[in-house]
Amino acid sequence: MKKILVAFMAIMLTMTACNKQQKEAQEPTKDGNPFFVEWDTPYGVPPFDLIKVEHYKPAFDEGLKQHNAEIEAIVSNPDEPTFENTILALENSGELLNNVVSVFFNVSEADGNPEMQAIEEEYGPILTSHYDDINMNEALFNRVKSVYENIDKLGLQGEEAKLVEKYYKSFVRGGTNLSPEDKEKMKKINEELVKLTTNFGKNLLEENKKFKLVITDENDLSGLSESIRTAAAELAKAENTNGYIFTLDKPSWIPFMQFADKRELREKMYKAYINKCNNNDNLDNKKIIERIVVLRTQKANLMGYKTWADFVISDNMAKTAKNAYDLIKNIATTTIPFAKAEVAEMQKIIDKEGGNFKLEPWDWWYYAEKVRKEKYNLNEDEIRPYLELNNVRKGVFTLSEKLYGLTFEQRTDLPVYNPEVETFEVKDENGELLGIMYFDYFPRAGKRAGAWMNNIREEYVKDGKRVIPVIVNVCNFTRPVGNTPSLLSIDEAETLFHEFGHALHGLVTKCKYRSISGTNVPRDLVELPSQICENWTFAPEMLKLYAKHYKTGEVIPDSLVEKIQAAKTFNQGFITLELIAASILDMDWHMIADTNQRDAVEFETASMNKMGLIKEIAPRYSSWYFNHIFGSDVGYSAGYYAYTWSAVLDADAYQAFVETGDVFNKEVATKFRTCLLEKGASEDADVLYRNFRGSDPKIDAFLKRKGFKK
């Protein structure tokens, strides 16, 4: 998802005037560590203004110590295992450690520095070993197993039964049934994996920061709009450099690829992007990938599975690696002819302009824009003035109010980890507080690329009262430049809606237990709430509510809306195929059934040749910068197919609104909320979907939306 992968980076702390006042009112313990006191902040949000880098290591140490003591208390309990003294005690254990982990990794992803990276490198293996010890604690598992085998006898139903099942499965999948020798093997594999995935993400972060295209000749800016030039000049000024700077951050890279006339510079930018961490230097990730894949196969084999994909997907909606692979392979076969047709359209323009060359990958964005203008009389620069960031965000607020009755009120008194972060109270239609939202929208040094949603605190029930979730949306959007506010691209606007869909999933959930609330669902269901939200981004009814010109306030004109609708299947061959190519690459890496080490470049080339990927398109992520699958061992490995699996679900689910003739149909929205969004993992994912739709999803709506089927 454009969502959290557990990548470890760093933290940078700042204070507003309000934060300073709060600091004076809130006195931590004598050693000044905010983690060792109850957070006396509004809604118990983290006191980001008080937390310093030096607080993390003592807090990790104490959290680990307390968690071990709590586990020991469960194991040594002389009473017969029950839901309360075993499962619930386990669910509620490790509160301090959970707080430290949540704050550390949420903040470090968005505000990185070397000090935090050092902490992550030190404590990543320690945390992995800690959770391995719990997962492989035979005495603890025996208590969990006793409750699991006596679910009916103990009268456990609903969420309680599901929580027992989830813990039982997590212990089994964590290696508790392995022999003592194999447990030691598993621990060593996990310890090495966390080091490798950490280094993968660290290398990628450094590589992203390292590359800069500096332009001093105005002629090299041909084709770039004034706003693009100004943004590049601002980057140069910030780095005390003459001229203009373009980087590999998407808000800089994509406009350059779309509009820069200088083909050789587009090629340079493109090759820098696709060769991130593939330059045979100290930041090269190829050997890391090759070792990660071997270790994952070994781990799967220890667990009794042929491949890592078989192991991972057995716990997902798809159930088997074959089911997942068949879906994406079939869609690839369907998509390739459409991508080839797009190549032909662009080549015609090249030939008509007298270009003496064949289309290459670095030409795609540039000539696709020409096709859009020629075929649909639509230029992305026409749309951007109507996609001012705050207006688009008001759009998702309006959407959630129309569908679910939610309201959003900005708070300026909550501690934040960076001055750019904004906070909001979210209330239900009856005025009940649902949760707190943090928005962090712009790229900066130390912030990893991409977009994601995280839970700073998950929703659950404590002492009969609902503990509200605290959610963050983190993105890397086009920054404001001078007097011009942040004007989003089409992709950025969809990304904002997407991440907000994840946030809704975390906000409206109604579950008793953290482990099954909100987004704690199978990987191939988690993208449904986010991707269905994208459908409204450019729906005509929705555009009229939020798309207003940033200068005049004029609502987007019908003529432009009509152009947008006419072009809605534009470039879908490329968009779909680059995603599917990455999904197949992920599956191919993780369907390896032996432990022989592969050459990463040769393997990727063979994978893409086997699927028939055309030379003008590269996978969305090449292996060496595929952070989703190699930057974390709990990310999307053998799970990137989930974007497509969920896309089939979301197209079919959105059709339920379309069929009523009202995309804001409150009855359908209420059903979607109560059957899916509120349920977390309290029931099986396929059951939740059928409860909403009345049947299994059909692929027809997905193919029609893409323009692949009439």
656 in the same domain as 623: no
Q: Give per-residue pLDDT as tens, 242-285.
A: 999 999 999 999 999 999 999 999 999 999 999 999 999 999 99
Tokens representing residue 97 in the block: 């450690």
Q: Does the pLDDT of residue 545 top 60, yes or no?
A: yes
CB environment 461-489: b (16+ within 10 A), e (fewer): eeeeebbbbbbbbbbbbbbebeebbbbbb
**8 A C-beta contact, residue 588 and residue 556:** no
Tokens 């004598």 map to which residue? Answer: 30
1 lies in some domain: no
96 lies in some domain: yes
Q: Give per-residue pLDDT as tens, 108-122.
A: 999 888 999 999 999
Tell how far CA 465 is from the center of its chain. 30
635 in the same domain as 651: no
Tell me what pLDDT residue 710 has: 80
Tell me what pLDDT residue 446 has: 85
45 lies in some domain: yes
203 lies in some domain: no
**Average pLDDT estimate for 74-92:** 98
394 in the same domain as 501: yes
Separation CA 502–CA 531 (nearest Å): 9
Q: Which of 1, 133, 107 is nearest to 52 (CA)?
A: 107
* Residue 172 burial class via C-beta count within 10 angstroms: exposed 0-12, middle 13-18, buried 19 and up: middle
Confidence of residue 372 (pLDDT cuts 50, 70, 90): very high
525 in the same domain as 660: yes
Mean pLDDT (the chain) is 93
197 lies in some domain: no
Residue at a domain's end among 177, 202, 228: 177
Q: Give per-residue pLDDT as tens, 571-614.
A: 999 999 999 999 999 999 999 999 999 999 999 999 999 999 99
Confidence of residue 41 (pLDDT cuts 50, 70, 90): very high
Separation CA 373–CA 358 (nearest Å): 21
Tell me what pLDDT residue 31 has: 75
Separation CA 234–CA 250 (nearest Å): 16
Residue at a domain's end among 154, 177, 200: 177
Please list the helix, strand and coil fractions of the chain in percent, rounded to the nearest 5, in that order.
60, 5, 35
448 lies in some domain: yes
398 in the same domain as 333: no
88 in the same domain as 37: yes
DSSP, residue by residue, 144-168: HHHHHHTTTTTT--HHHHHHHHHHH
Confidence of residue 50 (pLDDT cuts 50, 70, 90): very high
Tell me what pLDDT residue 170 has: 96
Tell me what pLDDT residue 12 has: 27
351 in the same domain as 332: yes
199 lies in some domain: no
Separation CA 168–CA 139 (nearest Å): 13
Separation CA 631–CA 193 (nearest Å): 10
Residue at a domain's end among 605, 625, 640: 640
Q: Give per-residue pLDDT as tens, 505-527.
A: 999 999 999 999 999 999 999 99
Separation CA 542–CA 562 (nearest Å): 13
Backbone angles phi, psi at 481, to 5 degrees: -130, 120
Tell me what pLDDT residue 15 has: 25
**Which structural domain, as residue segments, surrounds residue 219?**
211-274
395 in the same domain as 508: yes
Separation CA 579–CA 592 (nearest Å): 21
| 3-class DSSP assignment, residue 227 | helix
Bridge partner list, 408: 426
Tell me what pLDDT residue 112 has: 80
**Measuring CA to CA, how many Å separate 520 from each of 293, 365, 458, 467, 513?**
25, 36, 9, 16, 10
Separation CA 300–CA 306 (nearest Å): 7
427 in the same domain as 402: yes
305 in the same domain as 413: no
Confidence of residue 632 (pLDDT cuts 50, 70, 90): confident
Work out the end-to-end distance of the chain between its first and last CA atoms, rounded to an integer number of angstroms.
Answer: 28
CB environment 638-668: b (16+ within 10 A), e (fewer): bbbbbbbbbbbbbbbbbbbbeeeeebbbeeb
Does residue 499 have an active-site annotation? Answer: yes
Separation CA 216–CA 234 (nearest Å): 14
Tell me what pLDDT residue 215 has: 98
Bridge partner list, 214: 245
Q: Does the pLDDT of residue 27 top 70, yes or no?
A: no
Tokens 């995603």 map to which residue? Answer: 579
Percentage of residues of the chain with pLDDT beyond 90: 92
Q: Does the pLDDT of residue 231 top 90, yes or no?
A: yes
**Residue 37 belongs to domain with CATH number:** 1.10.1370.40
Confidence of residue 618 (pLDDT cuts 50, 70, 90): very high
Sign of torsion over alpha carbons 244, 250, 251, 256: positive
List the catalytic residue out of 120, 380, 494, 499.
Answer: 499
Separation CA 182–CA 645 (nearest Å): 34
**Measuring CA to CA, how many Å separate 551 from each of 64, 485, 487, 547?**
54, 10, 11, 12
Q: Which of 478, 56, 521, 20 is nearest to 230 (CA)?
A: 478
145 in the same domain as 54: yes
**Residue 373 belongs to domain with CATH number:** 1.10.1370.10
| 3-class DSSP assignment, residue 218 | helix
**8 A C-beta contact, residue 361 and residue 617:** yes
Number of domains in the chain: 4
Q: Give per-residue pLDDT as tens, 123-164.
A: 999 999 999 999 999 999 999 999 999 999 999 999 999 999
74 lies in some domain: yes
472 in the same domain as 517: yes
> Please, where are the H alpha helices in 378-443?
380-383, 389-404
